[in-house]
């Protein structure tokens, strides 16, 4: 489902109205997280706007919207309603709504409903919603994008990794890519720090005399296979059970159940996402 058509039409309005929306943005551009990929900034250059005479705008949010991963800048909001549409019609969360106030329409949010999926950030055309996790330590022109598949489950959502200095600084969904159509969950969008953890295992470990030692894959797999053979010989195949990880792709889960049923000869196989 596309939500960009109507909001793009709202933003591409006549020059005078654009000036009114522009208030607060020219001075913010050097420090705004969205600088370099802001639709309003692009329109300013396209229409050659160099100054603004209108008064400063009122806050478009009932209060600053801040979660673990999301931060709002109400003074930058242009009320395109992309975030509301994404939250309600795309993600089905309903944390963002439009309310009528004496000063006009504003965007309100329900902190208890928000799941920090970040979809509102991805669809925001300006700097009204930004990523609290990464802040403004980088700019879009400083990064390169690499497309990949999310590792957190078997759905296969497509991601764009924003790379700066050889490290991931941001993750976004790939628009018009199957199966997620640019959408990501909170894990897919923000759970990328683990790959830089010093505690991450980089080689198989075998425990001997209460201590782990590094081993080759051949040695580790031979040890597991011999252990399985010994257990089957002593107690039968039903003494072994397996649980497939939800982070595995569907094909890997299929192969695992085939291994247990056809090779080990047991039906004791399950999947952690089944419950």
Q: What pTM does this model have?
A: 0.69
Q: What is the chain's mean pLDDT, rounded?
A: 82
In this structure, of 3-7, 163-167, 244-248, the range with the lowest mean pLDDT score is: 3-7
- Show the domains of the chain with their CATH numbers: 1-136 (3.30.70.20), 139-197 (2.20.25.90), 205-271 (no CATH)
Is pLDDT above 70 for 14?
no
Give mean pLDDT, residues 7-29: 44
More confident residue, 6 or 219: 219
Strand partners, 71: 66, 130
Residue range 76-102, pLDDT digits in tens: 888 899 999 999 998 899 999 998 877
**Which pLDDT score is estimated for 275?**
56
CA separation for the pair 144, 42 (Å, rounded): 20
The DSSP 8-state label assigned to residue 246 in this structure reads T
How far is the C-alpha of 109 from the C-alpha of 86, rounded, in Å? 13
For residue 126, which of 52, 33, 202 has the smallest C-alpha distance? 33
Q: Return the beta strands (E) in the chain as ranges.
A: 70-72, 96-101, 104-109, 129-131, 144-149, 158-164, 167-173, 205-208, 211-214, 242-244, 269-271
Rounded to an integer, the average pLDDT of 140-156 is 87
DSSP 75: G
> Does position 151 have pLDDT exceeding 90, yes or no?
no
- Would you state the pLDDT for residue 130? 85
């Amino acid at each position: 489902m596309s939500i960009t058509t109507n909001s793009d039409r709202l933003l591409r309005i006549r020059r005078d109205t654009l000036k009114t929306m522009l208030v607060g943005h020219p001075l913010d551009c050097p420090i705004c997280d969205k600088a370099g990929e802001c639709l309003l900034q692009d329109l300013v250059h396209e229409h050659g706007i160099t100054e603004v005479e209108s008064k400063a705008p009122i806050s478009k949010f009932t209060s600053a919207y801040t979660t673990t991963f999301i931060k709002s800048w109400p003074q930058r909001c242009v009320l395109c309603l992309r975030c509301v549409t994404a939250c309600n019609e795309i993600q089905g969360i309903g944390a963002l709504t439009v309310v009528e106030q004496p000063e006009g329409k504003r965007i309100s949010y329900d902190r208890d409903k928000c799941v920090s999926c970040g979809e509102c950030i991805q669809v925001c055309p300006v700097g009204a919603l930004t990523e609290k996790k990464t802040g403004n330590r980088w700019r879009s022109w400083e990064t390169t994008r690499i497309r990949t598949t999310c590792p957190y489950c078997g759905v296969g959502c497509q991601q764009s990794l924003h790379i700066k200095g050889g490290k991931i600084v941001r993750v976004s969904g790939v628009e018009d890519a199957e199966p997620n159509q640019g959408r990501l969950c909170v894990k897919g969008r923000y759970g990328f720090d683990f790959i830089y953890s010093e505690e991450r295992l980089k080689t198989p470990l075998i425990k001997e005399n209460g201590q782990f030692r590094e081993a080759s894959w051949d040695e580790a797999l031979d040890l597991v296979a011999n252990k399985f053979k010994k257990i089957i010989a002593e107690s039968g195949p039903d003494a072994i059970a397996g649980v497939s990880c939800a982070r595995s792709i569907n094909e890997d889960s299929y192969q695992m159940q085939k291994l247990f049923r056809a090779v080990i000869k047991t039906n004791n196989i399950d999947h952690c996402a089944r419950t």
